[in-house]
Every structure is written in C-alpha cells, then in structure tokens.
A and B are shown apart, each in its own frame.
Chain A
Amino acid sequence: GAVVSQHPSWVICKSGTSVKIECRSLDFQATTMFWYRQFPKQSLMLMATSNEGSKATYEQGVEKDKFLINHASLTLSTLTVTSAHPEDSSFYICSAPNGLEAYNEQFFGPGTRLTVL
C-alpha cells in the first residue's frame, strides 16, 4: 500500500519556540492532506485540510496563525506550531487520501508526539 512518512516522530521543545512537522507521501501524489490532533484515549480531531497550491482550510476553533500549514508540493505538507505552549503538547497525525472519492483509502503518517516544556 501507499506510504506516508512524518518527521520528526517525536519532539521536545521549550515554551515559546516553533516546531515544524513534515508529512510526505512517498509513492503517490497527494493534492490534499489532512492534519489531525489526538489527545490520549481520544479520537482524532481534524485540524485542517491542506491543499496543494492554495491556502489550507481550518476547522472551527483552530487558530490559523498558531498552526501554519504549507502544502508546497504534491508530496509534502508541513505543519508549524508557532510559539508553542504546554497546552499544544499532543500527538499530531497527517494523512493523505489516494483520491477524493468515498472509496479511496486514507493513508496515515506514523504521527509526531510533541511535548512542550
């Protein structure tokens, strides 16, 4: 099956710094990628839809200026957590579908565990 990589797999940073997370589709082109946030023992919460060549679509309640998304190419989307604070500590997962139909599979990255001290 298709592979989506995510880097880094974990990161620890100081409060106030910015952290960039990369999501790459390794063997297919993804015009759309999704960014999720997951708290322990909870479901995936969609943060935003990343669109290649255009602005991301953010879900209600997600701060655009805090979670910057850039979809620079058909295989790369980045999420930058700006001025991170301890409450931003979470598990961040990206995913990319191999098409936009209901039957198209969603491929997930392995996730990034962010800890803000």
Chain B
Amino acid sequence: AQKITQTQPGMFVQEKEAVTLDCTYDTSDPSYGLFWYKQPSSGEMIFLIYQGSYDQQNATEGRYSLNFQKARKSANLVISASQLGDSAMYFCAMKGGTGGSYIPTFGRGTSLIVHP
C-alpha cells in the first residue's frame, strides 16, 4: 500500500525566511505523482505544486519548490520568503505508485505558522 509520512506536526518560521516541510513516501512502483496542498483555516484545499516520478528537474512554482530526492523517497516542500498568509496546514499527497492507484494518499499534514 502507498504511504505518505509527514513527521512535522507543526513548524514555525519568521516572516521572509525560508522553510522546508518534510515528506517521505513509500512505493515500489516507478510511476507516481507527488502533490502538495495548502489548507488555510477556511478549509479549502489549494494545489501548490506537482512532481512526477520521471521528472528530471525539481518542480518550482513561484515561491514554492519541491526538493525531490528519489533515492531517499522524499519530496520536501520549500517555501521561500515566507509571508504571514502562508500560515496554514500543508499536506503532501501521492498518486500512482504500488497498484497504480489514481486515488491520492495524503500525509497527516504539517501546521505552519509564520510570525512577524
């Protein structure tokens, strides 16, 4: 079965600093996709960034970048120049992997608090 692990229940970062949110995954299938979502207190799930298992380069989207370490099975999210509005829950998710499931598996999430 697919498994996503986020070991940081909570993270604090000072405004304008960079922060890394950890995510490791477990699969034996070579084809999979990794996603990061942001969930503010309003509850909506906001897609941030996607990394395919065959992508040669790390994904980047504005201030978000994904540090993809395939051999270590890690897909850490890096947020540069943190803003107060970045305070939210962040979820790592995987699709594909063992069994080729198209149903995403979510990690437990990391609560990020950005303070002035």
Interface residues of A (CB under 8 A from B): 1, 32, 34, 38, 41-44, 46, 49, 91, 93, 95, 97, 100-108, 110-111, 113
Contact = CB atoms under 8 A, between A and B. Distances in A.
Dominant secondary structure at the B interface: strand
B109 A93 contact: no
Given A102-B32, A102-B52, A104-B102, 14 more contacts: A44-B45, A46-B103, A91-B43, A95-B45, A101-B102, A102-B33, A102-B95, A102-B97, A102-B102, A104-B33, A104-B95, A106-B93, A110-B44, A113-B43
Given A102-B33, A103-B33, A111 B106 contact: no
A12 B97 CA distance: 39
B102 A97 contact: yes
Interface of B: 31-33, 35, 37, 42-45, 47, 50, 52-53, 89, 91, 93, 95-97, 100, 102-104, 106-109, 111
A36 B108 CA distance: 14
Of A46, A101, A106, most B-chain CB atoms within 10 Å: A106
A61 to B, nearest CB: 16
B109 A43 contact: yes
Contacts of B106: 43-44
Contact of B43 (A42, A93, A103, A106): A93
A102 B96 contact: yes
Contacts of A105: 35, 47, 50
Nearest to A32: B102
A95 B50 CA distance: 17
